[in-house]
């Protein structure tokens, strides 16, 4: 009984002290909305991002609405696809009316910038993705925050609270007094 109470106590304490954990997420992070900056801007293409705090990544999606292909100069897209056609893997050029996407893993706290170079109709374009990561949680009861000197005490707190609940549960159990008649 006391072991069961201790286990439940530690589970409840872990959930109370570790609010950002989510089932199935290896890494959870808190980040700003990603920004996309293109210099010079495309006349007929556009880019968007999708942030994923479960997994700590940003997906960059580039849409080519131009009449000519757009070539990636310093990277390859993970997937390229046109409407109604199965996606292909690892392409360095976007044909007209296609889109390509790439997942950007975010591995540390702070402002992160990635710059990608494209060539469209002989003209170079620099596309920059910026995102500010304020915390990363590896899912193992410790968080990396932006506050200097922050101590990783949530695991210790869970242990103390769990032991306290076990002691209280042990004291509250009924005693077995034998009465002789």
| Global pTM value | 0.64
pLDDT at 166: 53
pLDDT digits (tens, 9 = 90+) for 120-177: 989 999 999 999 999 998 765 444 444 443 334 444 454 445 545 655 555 555 544 4
Dihedral (C-alpha) 36, 41, 42, 47: value to the nearest 10 degrees? 10
Nearest to 131 by CA among 150, 110, 116, 156: 110
The H or E element that residue 50 is part of is strand 45-52
Reported confidence tier of residue 20, pLDDT bands at 50, 70, 90: very low
Peptide bond connecting 108 to the previous residue in cis, omega within 30 degrees of 0: no
pLDDT at 25: 76
Nearest to 103 by CA among 173, 56, 47: 56
Q: Which residues contact 90 (CB under 8 A, 6 or more apart)?
A: 76, 77, 78
Determine whether 15 is exposed, middle or buried from the number of CB atoms within 10 Å of its CB (0-12, 13-18, 19+).
Answer: exposed
Nearest to 116 by CA among 170, 42, 5, 7: 42
- For 60, the 3-state DSSP assignment is strand
Is the C-alpha dihedral spanning 42, 80, 89, 130 positive or negative? positive
pLDDT digits (tens, 9 = 90+) for 29-87: 999 999 999 999 998 999 999 999 998 999 999 999 999 999 999 999 999 998 888 88
């Amino acid at each position: 009984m006391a072991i069961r109470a201790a286990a439940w106590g530690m589970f409840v304490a872990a959930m109370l002290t570790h609010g950002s954990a989510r089932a199935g997420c290896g890494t959870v992070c808190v980040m700003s909305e990603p920004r996309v900056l293109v210099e010079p801007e495309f006349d007929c293409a556009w880019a968007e991002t999708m942030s994923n705090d479960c997994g700590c990544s940003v997906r960059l999606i580039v849409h080519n609405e131009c009449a000519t292909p757009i070539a990636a100069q310093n990277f390859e897209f993970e997937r390229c696809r046109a409407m109604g056609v199965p996606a292909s893997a690892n392409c360095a050029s976007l044909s007209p009316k296609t889109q390509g996407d790439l997942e950007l893993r975010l591995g540390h706290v702070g402002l992160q910038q990635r710059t990608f170079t494209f060539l469209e109709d002989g003209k170079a374009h620099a596309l920059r993705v910026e995102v500010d990561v304020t915390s990363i949680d590896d899912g193992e009861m410790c968080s990396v925050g932006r506050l200097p000197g922050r101590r990783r005490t949530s695991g210790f707190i869970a242990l103390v609270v769990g032991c306290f609940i076990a002691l209280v549960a042990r004291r509250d159990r009924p005693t077995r007094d034998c009465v002789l008649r």
